[in-house]
Amino acid sequence: MLQRVRSAPPRYWLVVIAGVFFLGLPTTVSSFLASEWGQALILAIAIMGLNILVGYSGQLSLGHGAFMALGAYTSAILAHRYKVDYLLTIPISALFTGLVGFLFGFPALRLSPLYLALATFALAVVTPSLIKRPEELTGGVQGIVVTQPDPPGPARDVFAAITGSPMTSDQWIYYVSLFCALVLFWVAWNLIRHRPGRALRAIRDGEVAAAASGVNVAAFKTLAFGISAFYAGAAGSLYGLSTGFVSPDAFPVDLSIQLLVGAVIGGLASIPGPLLGAIVAYFLPIGANQWVPSQDWIPDQVASTVKNAGPAVSYGVLLVLIMIFAPNGIVGLVRQGYELLNRRLRGAGDREAGQMPPDPQTV
């Protein structure tokens, strides 16, 4: 056993460290920061779903915000109207959204990547007005308030024992989100490692060749849509819980773009990519809007320009720069750096046996 631990590749240590970091986070930082990181984790789940669709199966969707909205509203309606326990609604919403996504996948089969992008973009733009329409169901513009649950007894006791202060709702919700993220990332990792992942990648890299090799292209593509929507639905459900409120304006087209940004910045077709991308996509606008003006060492002109130009400009600039200089995102950069380091240190390349070469972007 010890032998296995010692010879485990560095990647596994990274996962352990990340796990410890996220588990311990709420014990050391303020409740507010914990809720912020919770939101980033929720975004990571949605981006993971998008990644399965875009990065692994090669279908471009610009409308995943709509699936998040579906998941969020399903949960909110079940909890608010039918008094279902909120935590129970999370898997229900995820399954329902996954089913809708799966059905969505059928017409999507007929669309070329560009047209799929167009159609899903239009869907993202229309989503708020679609939500407003069935007023009795969705509460229309008034939205639906989601009561945030108090932490349950055992969790509260454990937390108090470790930190000495009572656990807040936000911190409990953080742990719920973390749990979901861990489970869903683990599922995605397994999917990708095994046959479904290989099939999807084969389809992405050459549909005709994949079909010729016996892969059921249509089935896998629609399945990818369904799975990806499942993740978005789960994320949406957690989103409603974390913000305490669902309303049409909480799901503008900017959300779908934010998901795509996160997916690309983190690095498509990778497992850690969505997490890293979510962290950047979530904290960048906050950083641009608040952190920059508060730093004294940044000259006033620059700071006020950044603040006034707003997150839009910094997002846009970042997106363009990343696509030009680092199209494989952060993970791609890290891999490149690692390869470079390896070559320098060991002379020859030292690829671990059995590891697949990193995915280039070929959508």
Partner 1 sequence: MQEFFQQVVSGVAIGGIFASLALALVLIYNAMGLVNFAQGEMAMLATFVALTLINRGVSYWLALPLTLLIAFAGGVAIQRVVIRPVERAPLLALVIITLGLATLLNGLAGFIFGYVPRSFPSPFSADTVDVVGVFISYRDLGVIAVSGLVLLAIYFLLQRTTLGLTMRAAAHHPEASRLLGVRVSWMLALGWGLASAVGAVSGVMVAPILLLEPNMMQSIIIYAFAAAVLGGIESPLGAVVGGLIVGVTINLAGAYVPGVGGDLQLAVGLAIIIAVLVLRPNGLFGRAAVRRV
Partner 2 sequence: MSPFGPRMAMAVGLLLAIAGCGGGNNSGSTDPGITSDQILLGNTIAQSGPAAAYGTIANAEQAYFNYVNSQGGVNGRKIKFKILDDAYSPAKTGPLTKQLVEDDKVFLMFSGLGTQAQVSVRSYLAGQKVPQLFVATGATTWGKDYASNQWSLSWQPPYQGEAHIYAKDVLDNHPNAKIGVLYQNDDYGQDYLKGLTDGLGDKASLIVDKESYDVTAADTATQLAKLKAKGADTLFLFSTPGFTIKSLVIVTKLHWEPTIYLNSVSNPQVYMGVAAKSGAALKNITSVGYLKDPTDPQWANDDGMKLYKTVIANCSTCKADDGFNLYGVAVAYTMVTVLKQAGSNLTRKNVMDIASGQLNDSTNPFVLPGVKIQTTPDDHFPIMQEQVITWAGTGWKLQGGLIDERGTIK
**Applying CB under 8 A, which residues contact partner 2?**
10, 13-14, 17-18, 20-21, 24-25, 28-33, 35-36, 39, 125-126, 128-129, 132, 141-143, 145, 170, 239, 243-245, 247-252, 254-255, 289-290, 308, 310-312
Query: Per CB under 8 A, does 210 bind partner 1?
Result: no
Tokens of 30: 């303020």
Q: Which residues pair with 282 in a beta bridge?
A: none
Q: How far is the CB of 184 from partner 2 (least distance, A)?
A: 21
DSSP E strand boundaries for 105-190: 144-145
Alpha carbon distance 285, 283 (integer Å): 6
E-strand ranges in the chain read 144-145, 245-246
Q: Which residues contact 178 (CB under 8 A, 6 or more apart)?
A: 22, 23, 38, 41
Q: Name residues contacting partner 1, limited to 142-201 (CB under 8 A).
A: none
Q: How far is the CB of 41 from partner 2 (least distance, A)?
A: 13
Give the whole-angstrom CA distance, residue 225 versus residue 53: 6
Q: Nearest Cα to 264, choosing from 361, 139, 198, 189?
A: 361
CB of 210 to partner 1, least distance (A): 12
Judged by CB under 8 A, the stretch of 92-100, 165-173, 221-229, 302-310 that binds partner 1 is: 302-310
Contact 331, 173 (CB under 8 A): no
Structure tokens at 4: 């296995």
- At 298 the three-state DSSP class reads coil
Contact call for residues 75 and 237 (beta carbons, < 8 A)? yes
Stretch that binds partner 1, among 32-40, 89-97, 179-187, 304-312 (CB under 8 A): 304-312
Q: Which is nearer to partner 2, 212 or 312 (CB)?
A: 312
Number of residues that bind partner 1 (CB under 8 A): 47
Rule CB under 8 A: is residue 268 a binding residue for partner 1? Answer: yes
Which residue type occupies 316? G
Cβ at position 85, least distance to partner 1 in Å: 34
Contacts with partner 1 by CB under 8 A lie at: 54, 60, 62, 107, 110-115, 117-119, 121-123, 125-126, 129-130, 132-133, 208, 257, 260-261, 264, 268, 305, 308-313, 315-320, 323-324, 327, 361-363
